[in-house]
Structure 1
């Protein structure tokens, strides 16, 4: 299976020919369209030949700055087919973030999606010495600017057969160690780093997944996580490897609406998706009459009893099977329907996930295949097996991947999926790659039964002025279980006690405010209200009762506005930028310690 990705896709197309490979919508159209394998190759070849006509080829760095669409992946494959290097941008990237990557990679051409992304790209053209050409993917975006080309204009360049021979030669010369992509990590601290992955990394990932997962041409996936992130992109390549169908969703906020229409059998997800779904289910449950709530609670308890057997691959007693069948008809069927009702398993990664959430959904018959990985490891390092798993861990280590724990507790990884290094950053590469082992920066351990447990980010561990080490992620995960806390960042490094900045879940908080006799519903007034502050303090005291005193949040400040990508407090993958947040809110934090 030592293939170049472009040649792998062509082999699959010979096998599946007129079968569907992509499902998608164009613009604001309501009907889904389908693309066959044969048409995928035609479209991909067209992109390749159009790029060749513009003078691009082997090792050209070519950007994709767009939301998810079938054209995203067609462009991706078209670039790879000329042995080019794909440099993806998150659809929400700022113009300055785009310029940084364009300048570092000396990029000359970029595919963009919507009007907002085009405006940012045009600003980069004016302020960069390298970017010259922009290809606009969306049909409804004006391309009158001479530096732009519409998708149709661009593809017409590839109609000339004189580039057929050049493309054929490039495909025949393609090697597995060709650089495939440079993916810039979000960067919770410092400037972003370009992770270099070659074709061998992705092929190694396929081999590993084939031995762990059961995906085939009968599967359908819904692609709603950003393709600019390794998780969804590697998964998209894997679906092509397996001959499965992929449905592209450009607006991730519409995922709940799309699920009952697409009815995916598999789908990449993140913990936040389940947190929101769980909160919505519980919020709805609280409106029900007592009898209906009791039936719901009974069903979940039955499901939890079943998973005690399932997770250890043991046979469920017959009487419990009967109860679970009744629970499924009364409760679980409705929960499954929210997620499309047709799934087999749902890969999930990207952040820590509360074990209680995993237990809840597994109890309802929703198999969340939770795992651990990184861009530098071509995504998956570990994930659940279909029959044996542990809710307090990140799954079992993938076949073909080696993991060891360093003397200071750091997770270190080795295998064919490990990246080649950081683009133009040899010193960073030397710090992170040692004798072929990737130093993950994550603290963890391997349990006695072989599960990988990730406990914290080593760089995030804090030491109070009293010399006590605290784990902010552990405390933040505990806090996130509370329905009145939307976001929290724990402070304590070099301080005499632990504090926090908290963004309340305002929808729930406003309901609580009414019950407390508070008339205002304005967020800015609510966070300053003494009754609300005391109300949140009670919630915090309750969840940290079992923590050692030195780990407990002593004081906190409520914020009226959430941390977001727009205010630069979150990375494109929705991780907290701790350093930036503590600098941005320095005055507020200092007041806490006065």
Structure 2
């Protein structure tokens, strides 16, 4: 095996002196900056703020309310909700009462909600609305351990369901009689106490419950803080699902660093909210960046004439400047002057769409297209791609603003070791690695060996120490001609080439050539159709038309120019609908469920090889 990245970079030492638990971390934050803004959240068309001391009061009332309901230390309390202020408050309340949070996506099916709730042994569930309550009520006999459901939106039923306000009132009353209960619960926490149970997306079979202790989260927060890319003067925009490990770690960072968070999980409001909130940074999945890139470049191309030429000229100069700076080269006076003019006329308007204060984005969850990354860098909003898994508490590696190598996931965060096995698999060791899978000791033993977590990802270490990922080990396939193909890299490349692409699924396992399933972004392709003789046509009609087939073929041809002969897409199918979370084809974090998709469209794919 190669040397670990930590050994190659001695400055990446274990982060010492971190808080005992997330609850301790929160208490320390409140003590340090009680009157500073903690969260900003939407109420109707307006945004309201809440300070750390106000968060403390509400979280303590909710925590005491949970104790009054009988929640004991390390009992599991589930949260089934979209990203919103109440999710953050509920999680803090669970931490303060010494229990552990079980995360559930709001899009999770009723059957899987019942499985997760039952398997986790959750005793109380925070439910966002009546839709989530209905999933629980329908299988109440399967989850006998659930004594109460706490409803964010609406009132209780006087029996099994209680409203959030009712829980807080009960908690305040309990605190009046048991004033030290929260301090007692916090004092009982240790670094090894269970903090979170996150169920993997389940791309195959039932999801597995990943056990993450308090030490994993306090370590992640301290490690990212030690890199010094964020300060208390930053403002985070948080929309990612908090049931996902990426979103969960973004909830912990403010407790360590102290910056405020604008929190709103409505994906359709991101573009509208950014110029209002004006964040300095944001975490996101690649699909968000791909959509923005495709939307803006297509819109400018559609303008035609002088505007399109000016955009191309300004963007081209910006790319040259960004490339020179990334390589450590000086920028010529002429290029610098041209870039300054282009920035004033064009590029600053693009930054304004994001609030004009973004210092960087952080991308995770899936591979980011390099062309998209370079474009954002040129626009003055670099994307720092990172890497981690649910089993490693999200942030194992991340690029740095002053050492951002596009196409890599950066250096390990301080205290995490990464090495490459003989077969190319990435192995991770450190405080962020899980305790194991709940109730699955055999599976834990297979993936966690001598403290090293076997990620299932294939990667390599560059001379600079940056980690570059190739593909998922299980996704690599071999054609009938004996050639290996890494589908993820091809898929990410196509999304950067084609501004209309939504999903691109490469297939060819054991077959004589490589093919693809393609879905298109409804908004983008509908706008294109309106100017190409199909105005008013429905999505299905548009994407199955000969005109769109010809359009996509051009982008596939462009893709093939950069691929080895055996990797090239010989045939493809444009599906009449996009892949969705609801149909189980992508995860709530927008990650492709490849086996599900390949199996679901097997007949169509088989037809390509007749």
State TM-score, norm by structure 2.
Answer: 0.92
Q: Paired residue for 2:568? A: 552
Going from structure 1 to structure 2, the CA distance change for 1:518 and 1:229 (only over 3 Å counts) comes to closer
1:185 matched to 2:200? The reply is: yes
**CA–CA distance in 2 between the matches of 1:10 and 1:513?**
55
Structure 1 residues 129-278: aligned runs within 5 Å:
129-138=144-153, 141-144=154-157, 146-160=159-173, 161-278=176-293
Q: Paired residue for 1:10? A: 27
Q: Paired residue for 2:385? A: 370
Going from structure 1 to structure 2, the CA distance change for 1:296 and 1:402 (only over 3 Å counts) comes to same
- The structure 1 residue matched to 2:84, chosen from 40, 65, 69, is 69
> What's the CA shift for 1:208?
1.7
- The structure 2 residue matched to 1:449, chosen from 461, 464, 471, is 464
> What's the CA shift for 1:503?
1.6
Q: Paired residue for 1:573? A: 589
Task: Check conservation: 2:405, 2:466, Cα contact below 8 A.
Answer: yes
> What's the CA shift for 1:357?
0.8
Q: Paired residue for 1:330? A: 345
> What's the CA shift for 1:83?
1.3
Task: Check conservation: 1:265, 1:344, Cα contact below 8 A.
Answer: yes
Task: Check conservation: 1:188, 1:575, Cα contact below 8 A.
Answer: no
> What's the CA shift for 1:317?
4.5
Going from structure 1 to structure 2, the CA distance change for 1:48 and 1:525 (only over 3 Å counts) comes to closer
Task: Check conservation: 1:310, 1:388, Cα contact below 8 A.
Answer: no
Question: Mean Cα displacement is larger for which, 582-591 or 314-323?
Answer: 314-323
1:582 matched to 2:595? The reply is: no
Q: Paired residue for 1:497? A: 513
Structure 1 residues 463-478: aligned runs within 5 Å:
463-478=478-493
- The structure 1 residue matched to 2:362, chosen from 337, 347, 357, is 347
> What's the CA shift for 1:342?
1.3
| Secondary structure of residue in 2 paired with 1:467 | coil
**CA–CA distance in 2 between the matches of 1:51 and 1:520?**
53
> What's the CA shift for 1:252?
2.0
Q: Paired residue for 1:564? A: 580
Instruction: Identify which of structures 1 and 2 has the higher relative contact order when contacts are C-alpha pairs closer than 8 Å and 6+ apart.
Output: 2
| Secondary structure of residue in 1 paired with 2:470 | strand
| Secondary structure of residue in 2 paired with 1:460 | coil
Q: Paired residue for 2:448? A: 433
**CA–CA distance in 1 between the matches of 2:25 and 2:521?**
47
| Secondary structure of residue in 1 paired with 2:283 | coil
**CA–CA distance in 1 between the matches of 2:237 and 2:114?**
31
**CA–CA distance in 2 between the matches of 1:20 and 1:546?**
49
**CA–CA distance in 2 between the matches of 1:62 and 1:566?**
25
Going from structure 1 to structure 2, the CA distance change for 1:144 and 1:427 (only over 3 Å counts) comes to same
> What's the CA shift for 1:95?
0.8
RMSD value over aligned CA atoms? Answer: 2.1
> What's the CA shift for 1:478?
2.5
Q: Which runs of 5+ in 2 are unaligned?
A: 1-17
> What's the CA shift for 1:513?
5.9
Q: Deviations over 1:127-155 (max 9, x none)?
A: 433323110012xx343362110111111
**CA–CA distance in 2 between the matches of 1:509 and 1:166?**
58
**CA–CA distance in 1 between the matches of 2:555 and 2:476?**
24
Task: Check conservation: 2:279, 2:355, Cα contact below 8 A.
Answer: yes
Q: Paired residue for 1:540? A: 556
- The structure 1 residue matched to 2:431, chosen from 416, 436, 441, is 416
Going from structure 1 to structure 2, the CA distance change for 1:542 and 1:369 (only over 3 Å counts) comes to closer
**CA–CA distance in 1 between the matches of 2:551 and 2:357?**
41
Question: Mean Cα displacement is larger for which, 582-591 or 54-63?
Answer: 582-591
Task: Check conservation: 2:33, 2:52, Cα contact below 8 A.
Answer: yes
Going from structure 1 to structure 2, the CA distance change for 1:429 and 1:114 (only over 3 Å counts) comes to same
- The structure 2 residue matched to 1:482, chosen from 498, 520, 529, is 498
Going from structure 1 to structure 2, the CA distance change for 1:419 and 1:282 (only over 3 Å counts) comes to same
Q: Which runs of 5+ in 1 are unaligned?
A: none
Going from structure 1 to structure 2, the CA distance change for 1:157 and 1:304 (only over 3 Å counts) comes to same
Q: Paired residue for 1:84? A: 99
Task: Check conservation: 1:124, 1:131, Cα contact below 8 A.
Answer: no
**CA–CA distance in 2 between the matches of 1:530 and 1:372?**
40
Going from structure 1 to structure 2, the CA distance change for 1:33 and 1:298 (only over 3 Å counts) comes to same
Q: Deviations over 1:25-63 (max 9, x none)?
A: 24xx22222111111111111111111111112011100
| Secondary structure of residue in 1 paired with 2:396 | strand
| Secondary structure of residue in 2 paired with 1:340 | coil
Q: Deviations over 1:288-328 (max 9, x none)?
A: 35222222222222212222232245554454443333222
Task: Check conservation: 2:418, 2:429, Cα contact below 8 A.
Answer: yes
> What's the CA shift for 1:487?
1.5
Q: Deviations over 1:138-174 (max 9, x none)?
A: 2xx3433621101111111112222323222111222
Going from structure 1 to structure 2, the CA distance change for 1:519 and 1:221 (only over 3 Å counts) comes to closer
Q: Paired residue for 2:607? A: 591
**CA–CA distance in 2 between the matches of 1:509 and 1:256?**
19
Going from structure 1 to structure 2, the CA distance change for 1:50 and 1:516 (only over 3 Å counts) comes to closer
**CA–CA distance in 1 between the matches of 2:299 and 2:541?**
27
> What's the CA shift for 1:534?
4.5
| Secondary structure of residue in 2 paired with 1:32 | strand
